[in-house]
């Protein structure tokens, strides 16, 4: 690992996605997420030696829509909201991406996120492109009826340019399944037909898919299982420590334990004490036992946990456990320059269940220490894969059982992992770089195949 790292000196200088401070230093001006995303892309494009045409096409969105949504407010006045939809690339299939409601939404943010969706879909090899949308608004300032009008207004403005086989929205920051249903209803009303595949994130029974709750957590563990396999290890011989006790973490713990692995530590936010604690049990935590003492809001009762034989440690101690696998499933930026040194020498794998849990500086250290990293782009792709499954089921109006969804997820995640790890091994790449390279390459290839470039 050390030798391969040296041979990739140029890469190591710039920390891998999404940090890349070296590129940004050149910018020498205010942070702009789209420019950062483009710089990230340029970095990969260099490595792939893409030609100018391909670069030009991929570093910008294919199509952008910006429009006004007038809404009659509850007090009788009219307010006009700005709406966006950016379709970055749909060479591989209908584009897919969330709709955000945010008071300081900007076109550049949406562009950057649309590009990210393109790579995300490509890395798990689902036949979808990338898109993103948004409305400049704050739901805290809006009544339900007003929010409904915004949703319907958004659809009216782009109705001819979206659809189950063109561009498929989904919930995102501050948008909810309810918003999706309003949008779906408007879209179906305008088209005078039923098209549940227009949107994802729907409730089960209203065109939603079973297995979605499990998808991300299970997906993380599928990739861990495959990573262990490349090390010729079985899950049953390994131990893990998990940060977070939310939906992703719980399902990751569930599946990892079912595979025979032992989760020794889990950290959880304590709302009452306003800090997180790590709960450790050398013999392995019992998920159901912990869920039994978890309140409706996801907090573990630490007194009762102590009675059950758990050690209560400071929240950050999940990171310093003597385990084989670390699974951060909480927030961004949890492994950083200051604590990365405390990671035990025993750790073989870090699987990023959360988005961006590793800071660029920490990423360099992890790379240098030769810890096998399963990057977020790949590790938590179970969610987007399940959205794809939802869309597929909606389009044929036939819904699978949970096990069918999860076994299809297993097939997809396993294949995606193997493609990335094969590339990484073959070309001696850091896994994070390999994931991006494979994603960009696939999209570029689709564009070539279509004769665009």
Partner 1 sequence: MTGERDRDETLDAPQRRARELSCLYRVVEVLGRADLPPHRAYQEVVEALPAGWRYPGICRAELTVGEEVYTPEDFSPTPWAQHAEIRVQGRAVGRLSVYYGEEVAAADEGPFLKEERQLLEMLAERIGFYILQRDPRRQGPAAARPASPRWRVVLPFMERMDPRLLQWITRKMLNHLRWKGVAEARELLPTYPAGEEPGPGEENRPLGRAAHRETTAPTDEVFRLAGTHCTEEEILSLVQMWISQDRVRFLIGTLEDQASSFADITDALERFTTLGVREEELPRSVQTMLRVALLRRFFTDDIDFINIAKELVSLTDFQGLARRLLHAANSHGKLGGKAAGLFLAHRVVEASAESAGALADVRVPRTWYIASDSVLAFLRFNHLEEVYDRKYLDLDQVRQQYPNIVEAFRASSFPPELVKGMSAALEDLGEGPIIVRSSSLLEDQSGAAFSGKYKSLFLANRGTRQERLRALQDAVAEVYASIFSPDPIEYRAERNLLDVHEEMGIMIQEVVGTAVGPYFLPSFSGVAVNNNELRWSSRIRREDGLLRMVPGLGTRAVDRLVDDYPVLLSPGQPGLRVNTTAEETLRYAPRMLDVIDLEGNAFGTVPVADLLRGFGDRLPLMRKIVSVLEDGRLRPPRAGGLAAEEGQPLVTFEGLATETPFLARMATLLAVLRARFGVAVEVEFAHDGRHLYLLQCRPQSYPEAGAPALIPRNVPPDRVLLRARRHVSNGRVPHITHLVYVDPDAYALLPDVARMRAVGQAVSRLNTLLPRRRFILMGPGRWGSRGDIRLGVSVTYSDVNNAAVLVEIARQREGYAPDLSFGTHFFQDLVEAEIRYLPLYPDEEDGYLAEDFLRGARNLLPVLLPDMAELADVVRVVDVGAERPGQVLSVLMDGEEEEALGYFTPAAPPLEADLTGPHLALERVTRTPRQHDHAHWRYRVAEQLAARVDAARQGVRGLWLVGSAYSGTATAASAIDLVVRFQGTPEARRELEVWLDGWSRALAAANYLRTGVRMSGLLDVRWVREEDVPSGSGPAAGTGAPADPARRLRLGNGGTGP
Per-residue b or e along 307-333, where b marks 16 or more CB atoms closer than 10 Å to that residue's CB: ebebeebebbbbbbbebbbbbbbbeee
Verify binding: residue 260, partner 1, rule CB under 8 A: no
Pick 130 or 208: Cβ nearer partner 1: 208
Q: Which stretch binds partner 1 (CB under 8 A): 64-72, 96-104, 149-157, 387-395?
A: 96-104
Give 5 or 361: the residue with its C-beta nearer to partner 1: 361
Query: Binder to partner 1 among 90, 125, 146, 324 (CB under 8 A)?
Result: 146
Give the x/- contact pattern for partner 1 in 59-78, rule: CB under 8 A. Answer: ---------------x----
Q: Which of 4, 12, 33, 301 binds partner 1 (CB under 8 A)?
A: 33
Residue number with CB closer to partner 1 (195 or 204): 204
Regarding 106 and contact with partner 1 (CB under 8 A), the answer is yes
Smallest distance from partner 1 to CB 373, Å:
17
297 touches partner 1 by CB under 8 A: yes
Binding-residue total with partner 1 (CB under 8 A): 53
Q: Which stretch binds partner 1 (CB under 8 A): 189-197, 198-206, 225-233, 412-420?
A: 198-206
Site mask for partner 1 (CB under 8 A), range 321-340, x = bound: -----------xx----x--
Q: Which of 132, 202, 281, 412 is catalytic?
A: 132
Q: How far is the CB of 223 from partner 1 (least distance, A)?
A: 24
Decide whether 29 or 192 has the Cβ nearer to partner 1.
29
| Phi–psi pair at 227, nearest 5 degrees | -65, -40
Residue 143 CB, nearest approach to partner 1 (Å): 2
Smallest separation (angstroms) from partner 1 to the CB of 417: 27
> Rounded to an integer, what distance in angstroms lies between the CA atom of residue 322 and that of residue 262?
12
- Nearer Cβ to partner 1 (238/358): 358
For residues 156-195, which are near partner 1 according to CB under 8 A?
A: 171, 173-174, 176-178
Contact window for partner 1 (CB under 8 A) among 26-34, 50-58, 320-328, 380-388: 26-34
Among 14, 16, 34, 36, binds partner 1 (CB under 8 A): 36
> Whole-angstrom Cα distance, residue 54 to residue 57?
5
Binder of partner 1 out of 2, 274, 396, 398 (CB under 8 A): 274
Told to check if 208 binds partner 1 by CB under 8 A, we report yes
Q: 221 with 413: CB under 8 angstroms?
A: no
29 near partner 1, rule: CB under 8 A: yes
Nearest distance, CB of residue 230 and partner 1, angstroms: 30
As a whole number of angstroms, the distance between CA 101 and CA 135 comes to 5
Catalytic residue status for 202: no
Give the active site residues: 132
Applying CB under 8 A, the residues found at the interface with partner 1 are: 18-19, 21, 24-25, 27-31, 33, 36, 74, 100, 102-106, 109, 138-146, 171, 173-174, 176-178, 201, 203-204, 208, 212, 271-272, 274-275, 295-297, 332-333, 338, 359-361
């Amino acid at each position: 690992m050390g030798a391969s790292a040296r041979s990739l000196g140029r890469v190591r200088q710039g920390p891998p996605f999404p940090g890349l401070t070296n590129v940004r230093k050149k910018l020498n001006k205010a942070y702009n997420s789209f420019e950062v995303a483009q710089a990230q892309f340029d970095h990969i494009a260099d490595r792939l030696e893409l030609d100018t045409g391909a670069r030009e096409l991929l570093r910008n969105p294919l199509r952008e829509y910006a429009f006004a949504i007038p809404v009659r407010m509850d007090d009788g006045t009219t307010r006009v909201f700005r709406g966006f939809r950016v379709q970055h690339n749909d060479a591989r299939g209908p584009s897919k991406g969330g709709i955000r409601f945010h008071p300081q939404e900007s076109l550049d943010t949406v562009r950057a996120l649309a590009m990210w969706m393109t790579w995300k879909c490509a890395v798990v090899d689902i036949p979808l492109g990338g898109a993103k949308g948004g409305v400049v608004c704050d739901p805290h300032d809006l009544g339900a009826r007003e929010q409904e009008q915004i949703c319907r207004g958004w659809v009216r403005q782009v109705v001819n340019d979206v659809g189950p086989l063109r561009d498929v929205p989904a919930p995102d920051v501050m948008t909810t399944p309810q918003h999706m249903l309003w949008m779906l209803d408007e879209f179906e009303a305008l088209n005078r037909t039923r098209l549940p595949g227009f949107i994802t994130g729907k409730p089960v029974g209203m065109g939603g898919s079973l297995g979605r709750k499990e998808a991300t957590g299970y997906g993380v563990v599928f990739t861990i299982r495959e990573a262990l396999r490349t090390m010729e290890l079985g899950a049953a011989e390994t131990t893990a420590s998990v940060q977070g006790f939310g939906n992703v973490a719980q399902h990751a713990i569930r599946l990892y334990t079912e595979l025979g692995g032992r989760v020794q530590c889990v950290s959880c936010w304590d709302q009452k004490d306003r800090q997180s604690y790590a709960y450790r049990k050398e013999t392995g935590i019992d998920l159901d036992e912990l869920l039994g003492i978890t309140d409706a809001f996801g907090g573990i009762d630490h007194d009762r946990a102590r009675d059950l034989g758990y050690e209560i440690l400071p929240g950050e101690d999940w990171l310093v456990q003597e385990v084989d696998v670390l699974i951060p499933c909480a927030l961004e930026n949890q492994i950083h320059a200051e604590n990365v040194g405390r990671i035990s020498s025993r750790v073989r794998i870090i699987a990023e269940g959360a988005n961006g849990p590793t800071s660029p500086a920490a990423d360099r250290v992890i790379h240098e220490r030769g810890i096998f990293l399963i990057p977020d782009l790949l590790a938590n792709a179970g969610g987007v894969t399940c959205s794809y499954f939802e869309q597929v089921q909606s389009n044929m109006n036939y819904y699978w059982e949970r096990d069918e969804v999860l076994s299809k997820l297993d097939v997809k995640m396993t294949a995606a992992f193997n493609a990335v790890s094969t590339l990484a091994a073959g070309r001696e790449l850091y896994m994070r770089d390999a994931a991006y390279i494979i994603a960009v390459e696939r999209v570029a290839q689709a564009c070539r195949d279509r004769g665009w470039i």
